Chains A and B, each alone.
Chain A
Amino acid sequence: MLAHFILALRNAGIPASITEYLALLRGMKAGVADYNVDDFYHLSRAALVKDERHLDRFDRVFGEVFKGLEAPEGEGFDTLVRQLPEEWLRKMAEKLLTEEEKAAIQAAGGFDKLMEMLRQRLAEQKGRHQGGSKWIGTGGTSPFGAHGYNPEGVRIGQEESRHRRAVKVWDKREFRDLDDSVEIGTRNIKLALRRLRRFARQGAATELDLPDTIRSTANNAGSLDLKMVPERHNTVKVLLFLDIGGSMDDWVKLSEELFSAARAEFKHLEHFYFHNCPYERLWTNNRRRRESEVSTLEVLRKYGPDYKAVFVGDASMSPYEIVQPGGSVEHWNEEPGSAWMARLTGHFRRSAWLNPMPQAGWGRTHSIGLMRQVMEDRMFPLTLGGIEAMTRELSR
């Protein structure tokens, strides 16, 4: 069951590794938690989840996998204990172990040694299990009995969690707000902003101020006096290309807000608008399109390859708008949109596409697939996670 649990966690996108899994086993063995389900939940969470954004997912998986764990006789827990995942360990180890972990295991006597240790541990557990219904360790009558339901065992401050058995801790889903795979709204826009700021503000260290050092050393009658100054910030320059097609209005507003709120942090941030797909002309003011028109070639000339290009759009259109000359909905384009996209992504060394459509639906829209190809897969959902993946991509 533990094996199943870890697999379910990994399937849910929680990167629990074998190192962490072993830590959990060792923690159980060492008895750092009481022998009840709540503590098992706390311990496995502390060992397996390293990112608060994954806590809610963890809770869901935990609830799923350990359904019935609270069964009266502790059946669920016994099952859990009995199923030491030997098979799984071996299979997963080959796939999951990093080189350094493999080396660590080698150093500890090799994989067989490790398996033997685990088997031994299993045997110990079984032995004690026949004697009673407890998990490795001492004391307590059943895995749940330690003092979970016993009013005398209640410590100050634990009333709440100990009495409210009806709602299991993990079922409260208290970390729901921290999951970052939901679309960005007003609630988490601040967090998104933080990620962007972080992106804009990379690396500030100190460096030697040579002129000042020479001057001060001279003043010091030749005794060395080093002067340091903060390194100039790496200044990230960004060009934002926003789709203003009807369906995009809300998202455009959101992304504009997002980036302009982060504007102070970027040395250079410019935005341009397009409709569905960029062609030979862009514009800088959506309300006065005609007057604010600029030629795309001009943009390519004006902004160097060190600008990072971010496209924001749902990429949902007729495929012709991307692949056909004349495919645009509002004017005759001599060249297909893909040619202009190729020029833009070819010119700017780093580029990415942010798509506000829920990622699960991307596969159903042909044009999204096309645009992803054009972007060589650098399309990210407009979620906190997506923004982060994008900034990583852009700062590579």
Chain B
Amino acid sequence: MAGFRSTENYIASRDLEVAVNAAVTLQRPLLVKGEPGTGKTVLAHEVAKALGLPLIEWHIKSTTKAQQGLYEYDAVSRLRDGQLGDERVHDISNYIVRGKLWEAFAADRQHVLLIDEIDKADIEFPNDLLLELDRMQFFVYETKETVVARHRPVVIITSNNEKELPDAFLRRCFFHYIRFPDRETMERIVQAHFPDIKQELAREALNVFFQVRGVGELKKKPATSELLDWLKLLMIEDLPPEVLRSQDPKVAIPPLHGALLKNEQDVHLFERLAFLSRQRQR
């Protein structure tokens, strides 16, 4: 088995490796949860790469229905064709639009299927896919055909924890919760993305980053993706690391903070903190 391992580009902890490999080997979905920006979506890409399989991505929205993953019957086009007298109208299969699951099932080699942010959808969504994911097959009522997976896809499901997932669904998955990276892991993630970064800059920036995260009242704590964006800006601007050294966020607002603090209220919070501490210093 090829197996999934931490790589130069993606830092995976051992428990994540085990969870992925268990799910792949036992052919069960892997459910990955964690704060936004902790690498859930990217994980699916990395797993696909590690196993040498192509990836199919299904991004879920609040209006996504389970059925759309299987197929949709485009009644409106058919009606229109009917009105226009198009010949195609007589064959219903012309109006069956394949969904991502069908695509993965029909493919002539195994795929990795990412169902991203499953918690965005209606609470019934996971239950509605239970049987299909379990048996890896489904029935198309309109054409009376059964679609059976030729190769069971590796299924990776992510959730930001907006909604509870049903028990029956959970029982079938392996589960991994990505904890927010500690300092050391974050250093390695930074290294993975910017192998040429000046060590001093990385160190100072991480100091500021973790201090910012430590401010209790933030509406939206910056996560890995914000850190990486911010570092990129710092590198482009070529700021000397010393600028960051004095940057206790309680004293001054960090340079180029726009990348770190996405919420206006949070920026205000920092401005207030900085103001207060200057007052105190006088």
Interface residues, chain A, with chain B CB atoms under 8 Å away: 15, 17, 19-20, 23, 26-27, 30, 32-33, 38-39, 42-43, 45-47, 49-52, 55, 98, 100, 155-158, 160-161, 169, 174-175, 178, 186, 194, 198, 203-206, 222-224, 226, 230, 388
Known A-B contacts: A26-B26, A156-B6, A157-B188. Give 19 more (CB < 8 A).
Answer: A15-B167, A17-B171, A23-B28, A32-B25, A33-B21, A42-B14, A42-B19, A43-B18, A46-B22, A46-B23, A47-B174, A52-B177, A160-B184, A175-B179, A178-B177, A223-B80, A223-B83, A224-B76, A224-B83
Q: Which residue of chain A has the shortest Cβ distance to B170 in the bound complex?
A: A50
The interface size of chain B toward A, counting residues with CB under 8 Å, comes to 43
> Quick one: CB contact mask for B15-56 with A, threshold 8 Å, 1 for yes?
100110111011010010100000000000000000000000
How far is B75's CA from A224's CA once the two chains are assembled, in angstroms? 11
| B46-79 interface (Cβ within 8 A of A) | 62-63, 76, 79
Instruction: Find A33's partner among B5, B22, B31, B63 (CB 8 Å cutoff).
Output: B22
How far is B170's CA from A203's CA once the two chains are assembled, in angstroms? 21
B257 close to A (CB within 8 Å): no
Assess A46 versus B62: contact at CB under 8 Å? Given A19-B172, A23-B26: no
Find out whether the CB atom of A174 lies under 8 angstroms from the CB atom of B174.
no
**Candidate in B5, B14, B184 with the most chain A CB atoms within 10 angstroms:** B14
Find out whether the CB atom of A39 lies under 8 angstroms from the CB atom of B18.
yes
Q: Which residue of chain B has the shortest Cβ distance to A226 in the bound complex?
A: B76
Assess A203 versus B122: contact at CB under 8 Å? Given A17-B171, A33-B22: yes
Within the complex, what minimum Cβ distance (angstroms) separates A139 from chain B?
A: 14
B11 close to A (CB within 8 Å): yes
B162 close to A (CB within 8 Å): yes
Find out whether the CB atom of A155 lies under 8 angstroms from the CB atom of B28.
no
A226 surroundings in chain B (CB, below 8 A): 76
Q: Which residue of chain A has the shortest Cβ distance to B15 in the bound complex?
A: A42
Find out whether the CB atom of B163 lies under 8 angstroms from the CB atom of A198.
yes
B233 close to A (CB within 8 Å): no
How far is B174's CA from A224's CA once the two chains are assembled, in angstroms? 46
Q: Which residue of chain B has the shortest Cβ distance to A156 in the bound complex?
A: B6
A174 surroundings in chain B (CB, below 8 A): 179
| B201-251 interface (Cβ within 8 A of A) | 216
Find out whether the CB atom of B188 lies under 8 angstroms from the CB atom of A46.
no
Instruction: Find B22's partner among A43, A50, A157 (CB 8 Å cutoff).
Output: A43
Find out whether the CB atom of A19 lies under 8 angstroms from the CB atom of B174.
no
How far is B21's CA from A47's CA once the two chains are assembled, in angstroms? 12
Within the complex, what minimum Cβ distance (angstroms) separates B55 from chain A?
A: 21
